[in-house]
Structure 1
Amino acid sequence: MPYATAADGAALYYETHGSGPPLLLLSGQANNHHWWDSVRAGFEAEFTTVVMDYRGTGKSDRPDTDTYSTPGFARDAMAVLDHAGIASAHVYGTSMGGRVAQWIAADHPGRVKRLVLGCTSPGARHGVERGPEVLRALTDPDQAAAHRALVELMYTPAWAARHEGPFHTLGDPSMPDHARRRHLRASARHDAWDALPCITAPTLVIHGTDDAFNPTANAPLLADRVPDARLRLVEGARHAYFEEFAHVATPLVLEFLTEAQPRD
């Protein structure tokens, strides 16, 4: 099994699939590489996909140390690309993965060919936070009720009723409590607002129109802040737009990633 080594010595599990130019896929907070299981094949006719387990998740190390942050996850992702021998890649991050992707593109511009930021935010200081009713639902002491609330934030009721699960977007159940807390803190402290204008990679911002988990209003904020970014909204989609609306979202992303570069 392939493991990269982070700067602090943490082992980072990753996988590669498909063929073609590399595409790094970054999952959401407190989730492992299985986040992409249902849609990854849609990219593998064109690309070699790279998926990873963040520190604290999956098969990666789970240190109980102050090493969890979105810039830190970005450095971990660079360690994975280095270990895989990948000099540059397209980067597609969703939810917290989109926050990590912002740092990758800002801090390592020569290593990002094209950037896709999905259902994500520039951070709380300048972003739009989820409403208090969402926070109350997610912290309901009734665990079954909190689980139902999370499913409803991810998927439309009609889609969820047709799919029994397990859903790979609801968190890695194997995570220890310390890692879950550190992931939450890392995502909550994200603030890339000042770095976003430094992004030079062609960028696509994509978001569901009905996303209350990470409010859709964050999408135009990002698109306006990243130079020359494009904005695409997926009508009727909630937070897991990339899975439920894969028939819409995957072709949009593929079209963007395979677009010919303009000639000088």
Structure 2
Amino acid sequence: MLHATAPDGARIGFDTAGAGEPLVLLAGQANSRHWWDWIRADFSASYTTIAIDCLGTGTSDSPSHAEWGTRRFARDVMAVLDELGVGRAHVYGTSMGGRVAQWVAADHPDRVGALVLGCTTGGGAGAVPADPDALRPLSVAGTAGEALIALMVGPQWRWGHPGPLPVLGDDGMTERARREHRRASARHDAWDALPGIVAPTLVLHGTDDELSPAENGSRLAARIPGAQLYLIEGARHAYFLERREQASAAVLRFLAAHPLTRF
């Protein structure tokens, strides 16, 4: 396990796997790098994957004095790339990781090759909120875990994949860190910055995503110049698990079409 040091002194954990052009992997809210465990091999076969523990998760620090927010988390990504001596990398972020990835591309355009944004939103004026009825079961004691699973994946896929899923949160987080992640995700607003993103961008979204309605993907793709939209029919929030073969193939095709050597 490796660590980089953020400007405020916080240690940011990460690891690398594979060989080839660097590809940063950014996980969803309140999840560590293990969010990617089930599909990481799809990318490590062709790329040097860099999976990062966002502040407060995994082996990263959870300091009480820290600034928390998606834009700050993007600066932590820069600290990791600097630690590795990586000048430019592709970036793939899903859910809150997609929010972070937007700031990486907007604030550090010279450091990003291709950008992939999954099941996420630009926030601000362009965000489409989830239906409160879809989220209500998450607050019911005793059923919240199953409710979250149902938002992530459909029952047929779940039946064929019993056992713990890697996208249900980091059990090692403090309650304060969980609150900060919720606030960071909810307050994300890169809407005005999106038109300035110059990286080739692919936006993926499941059509049956109730946690982040699919309209968010459409609006995000329309807001970023030249972005491509790839909707995955019938998939929920964790489209990359439910439709692994389809989704990973789409990302790999996009990355192959935009090698770092072209920039």
Greater Cα offset, 120-129 or 46-55: 120-129
Q: Which runs of 4+ in 1 moved over 3 A?
A: 260-264
Is the 2:124–2:191 Cα contact (8 Å) retained in structure 1?
Answer: no
Matched residue, 1:168: 166
Change (3 A) 1:188 1:83: same
Deviation, structure 1 residue 63: 1.1
Distance across 2 between alignment mates of 1:188 and 1:35: 20
Is the 2:205–2:217 Cα contact (8 Å) retained in structure 1?
Answer: yes
Amino acid at match of 2:150: E
What's the secondary structure of 2:99's corresponding residue?
helix
What's the secondary structure of 1:214's corresponding residue?
coil
Matched residue, 1:24: 24
Amino acid at match of 1:37: D
Amino acid at match of 2:119: C
Is the 1:124–1:188 Cα contact (8 Å) retained in structure 2?
Answer: no
- 2:231 maps to 1:233: yes
Q: Deviations over 1:206-253 (max 9, x none)?
A: 000100011101011001100000000011100000112111000000
Is the 1:204–1:230 Cα contact (8 Å) retained in structure 2?
Answer: yes
Matched residue, 2:185: 187
Matched residue, 2:39: 39
Change (3 A) 1:260 1:126: closer
Distance across 2 between alignment mates of 1:79 and 1:263: 24
Q: Deviations over 1:75-96 (max 9, x none)?
A: 0011011101110000000000
Percent identical pairs in the alignment equals 56
Distance across 1 between alignment mates of 2:130 and 2:65: 28
What's the secondary structure of 1:205's corresponding residue?
strand
Deviation, structure 1 residue 67: 1.1
Deviation, structure 1 residue 124: 4.4
Matched residue, 1:77: 77
- 2:257 maps to 1:259: yes
What are structure 2's unaligned runs of at least 5 residues? none
Q: Deviations over 1:25-69 (max 9, x none)?
A: 000000000000000000112100000111101111011235110
Matched residue, 2:137: 137
Distance across 1 between alignment mates of 2:230 and 2:32: 26
Matched residue, 1:246: 244
Matched residue, 2:151: 153
Greater Cα offset, 176-185 or 55-64: 55-64
Change (3 A) 1:263 1:105: closer
Amino acid at match of 2:190: A
Q: 1:207 aligns with which of 199, 205, 208?
A: 205
Q: Deviations over 1:150-204 (max 9, x none)?
A: 0000001011122222111011011010000000000000000000001000000
- 2:133 maps to 1:128: no
Deviation, structure 1 residue 134: 2.1
Amino acid at match of 2:160: R
What are structure 1's unaligned runs of at least 5 residues? none
Distance across 2 between alignment mates of 1:152 and 1:102: 27
Superposed CA RMSD in Å reads 1.5
Distance across 1 between alignment mates of 2:214 and 2:152: 13
What's the secondary structure of 2:236's corresponding residue?
coil
Change (3 A) 1:88 1:255: same
Distance across 2 between alignment mates of 1:121 and 1:260: 23
What's the secondary structure of 1:248's corresponding residue?
helix
Total equivalences in the alignment: 262
TM-score (norm 2): 0.97
Change (3 A) 1:124 1:260: closer
TM-score (norm 1): 0.96
- 2:93 maps to 1:93: yes
Deviation, structure 1 residue 260: 5.1
Greater Cα offset, 57-66 or 10-19: 57-66
Change (3 A) 1:263 1:32: closer
